[in-house]
Structure 1
Amino acid sequence: MSRRWWTSDLHLGHAGILAHTQRPYGDTETMNVDLIERWNERVDPADEVYILGDLAMGPVAEMLELVELFNGTKFLVPGNHDKCWEGLRRKQKNQVDRWRRSYEAAGLTVLDGELALQLGHVEVVVSHFPYEGDSQEVERFPALRPKDRGAWLLHGHVHEKWRQHGRMINVGVDAWGGYPVAESDLVALIAAGPRELPRLPWRR
């Protein structure tokens, strides 16, 4: 029986992420290999995985070649660091379209913008961005964030800042010890209600 998983902010190939988060790697090659191993420890080939943005940075074309090494059918909700993000369209229309084709050729189904999906008995909003908060001091892209109308939100973008903040659940690898999150775990968090949960440590 197939399962559904959630993750975000892998930042494959991004050397800068090592300095800005608490990832236990000395270089990006080691990070890339370990993120693939952690993913495949949990995700089976028949499973689905929703990636809520910021899949790769650095040499993006090279990093997209790694996508086939990750198990499962993969869906990408682009984030601000993804070359196919619609937020880049005003300045880079032709490049966004070209990059989208590259992401899709790598085996990703690209889903635009903010989505509403069913988790258990609850409809949730899905976006790269939280309603509020950021990984940096300045809150970026306020006009492009989902509006808080009382729904639960699955998101990325904030890295290790929190795992859960009220009705916002961060599915990013920096909040979940480098692993994708099982949908059953997210359903359990929603059932437990709004609360504050810190990131999980990176462990083996």
Structure 2
Amino acid sequence: MKTASSKHTVYFTADSHFGHEGMMENRMSRPRPFGSIEEHDETLIANWNAVVRPCDEIWHLGDFAYGGTIEHAKAVFRRLNGTKRLLHGNHEKWGKALPWASQHEGFVDVTVEGSRLFLCHYAMRAWPGIWRGTLHLFGHTHASLPDTRRSADVGVDACNFRPVRLDEIRGRMAEARDWPEELAGAAAAGEVN
């Protein structure tokens, strides 16, 4: 299990889909509210850099760039602040070719601010450590799944098109109505808090 340093802030995001013109099309269940891919990309870059400082760390949980060209993906990547870490998504053709501080397949088990996190591009119904308070952060669903008391979508569609800190994610989880399925019965019986 990796431990993140406390000398910087750690952020999470997913599903930026830089260069992907299809993200604004009505065929998407939630088309993004931008008039062009240029506006989309510039807004996401500005929102990223408004919160992430060069000294901060950011975990991107997949689907960094899709469509467009590798040159465009590289140009966007260079403009983004922070030490960038990638957890591969299902649309990672260009993302894998970029100079991330680290890249990971599947999932990552990491401790941030004293909390154990299970990071994966995909939403899980159960994950390691769920009974001991491990939180699950994911992307892929483009805000189509509600948060639970222990899991949250950190993709841009669920986070006002910007990266988020763990305290923001914890706040969302605290307001969530449901528990993950594996814990629901025990939570109803008052055995989980």
TM range (shorter): 0.7 to 0.9
State whether residues 21 and 67 of structure 2, in contact with CA within 8 Å, keep that contact through their aligned partners in structure 1: yes
- In the other structure, the counterpart of 2:188 is none
- In the other structure, the counterpart of 1:142 is none
SS of the aligned residue for 1:158 comes to coil
Alignment of 1:52-63 (within 5 A): 52-61=61-70, 62-63=72-73
- In the other structure, the counterpart of 1:115 is 108
Q: Which amino acid aligns with 1:177?
A: N
State whether residues 118 and 137 of structure 2, in contact with CA within 8 Å, keep that contact through their aligned partners in structure 1: yes
The number of residue pairs the alignment matches comes to 165
- Judge which range, 162-171 or 150-159, deviates more: 162-171
| RMSD value, Cα | 2.3
* Percent of aligned positions that are identical: 29
State whether residues 10 and 56 of structure 2, in contact with CA within 8 Å, keep that contact through their aligned partners in structure 1: yes
SS of the aligned residue for 2:50 comes to helix
What is the CA distance between 1:119 and its match in structure 2?
3.4
Q: Which amino acid aligns with 1:67?
A: F
State whether residues 120 and 187 of structure 1, in contact with CA within 8 Å, keep that contact through their aligned partners in structure 2: no
Q: Which amino acid aligns with 1:128?
A: H
SS of the aligned residue for 2:23 comes to helix
- Cα distance change of structure 1 residues 149 and 48 upon mapping to structure 2, 3 Å threshold: closer
**1:103 pairs with 2:111:** no
- Judge which range, 17-26 or 4-13, deviates more: 17-26
What is the CA distance between 1:161 and its match in structure 2?
1.1
- In the other structure, the counterpart of 1:195 is 177
- In the other structure, the counterpart of 1:38 is 47
- Judge which range, 163-172 or 6-15, deviates more: 163-172
**TM-score using structure 2 length:** 0.76
**1:81 pairs with 2:64:** no
What is the CA distance between 1:51 and its match in structure 2?
0.2
What is the CA distance between 1:163 and its match in structure 2?
5.2
The match for 2:160 among 177, 180, 188 is: 177
**1:158 pairs with 2:103:** no
Aligned equivalents of 2:39, 2:65: Cα separation in 1: 15
Query: CA-to-partner distance for each residue in 1:86-141, whole Å, 9 max, x for gaps?
Result: xxxxxxxxxxxxx74x222xx45212221111233431210000015xxxxxxxxx
Alignment gaps of 5+ in structure 2: 1-6, 179-193
Alignment gaps of 5+ in structure 1: 85-98, 133-145, 197-204
The match for 1:15 among 17, 21, 26 is: 21
- Cα distance change of structure 1 residues 178 and 193 upon mapping to structure 2, 3 Å threshold: closer
State whether residues 49 and 74 of structure 1, in contact with CA within 8 Å, keep that contact through their aligned partners in structure 2: yes
Aligned equivalents of 1:178, 1:163: Cα separation in 2: 17
Q: Which amino acid aligns with 1:82?
A: E
- In the other structure, the counterpart of 1:125 is 118
The structure with the largest alpha-carbon Rg is 2
Q: Which amino acid aligns with 1:44?
A: R
